[in-house]
Amino acid sequence: INEEKPYSSPLPPPYLYYSLMYVRKLRRKIIKKKRIFACCFVFARRFPEIIRVLQLFHLLLKNGLVIAQDELWVL
């Protein structure tokens, strides 16, 4: 009995190809980001407090809350 496959073709389905292309593009972006992240990491080892404040500020921005900077330094 010949079983019907949902996608019978030697090539992978097109969405798979597009996702692969997308992943490749993302990888390039990630490599660029990794360089920046490495710089940030060196920076963070020297100034952990500053980074903590920046992270906090970033979270607040994400939530749409911006607290006055002097209050942020207290946090």
Q: What is the pLDDT along the chain (75 residues), one digit of tens a residue?
A: 555 555 555 555 555 666 666 767 767 776 666 665 665 566 556 666 766 776 766 666 665 555 445 454 444
Residue 33 lies in a domain: yes
> Would you state the pLDDT for residue 17?
61
> Would you state the pLDDT for residue 35?
65
Residue 20 lies in a domain: yes
> Would you state the pLDDT for residue 59?
63
Residue 59 lies in a domain: yes
- For residue 57, how many other CB atoms are within 10 A of its CB? 15
* Residues spanned by the domain of 27: 14-74
Residue 8 lies in a domain: no
Q: Quick one: tokens of 33?
A: 């980001």
> Would you state the pLDDT for residue 73?
47
Q: Quick one: tokens of 13?
A: 């389905």
Q: Is the pTM of this model over 0.95?
A: no
Residue 1 lies in a domain: no
> Would you state the pLDDT for residue 28?
73
Name the residue among 47, 69, 49, 48 with its Cα closest to residue 57. Answer: 69
Residue 67 lies in a domain: yes
Number of domains in the chain: 1
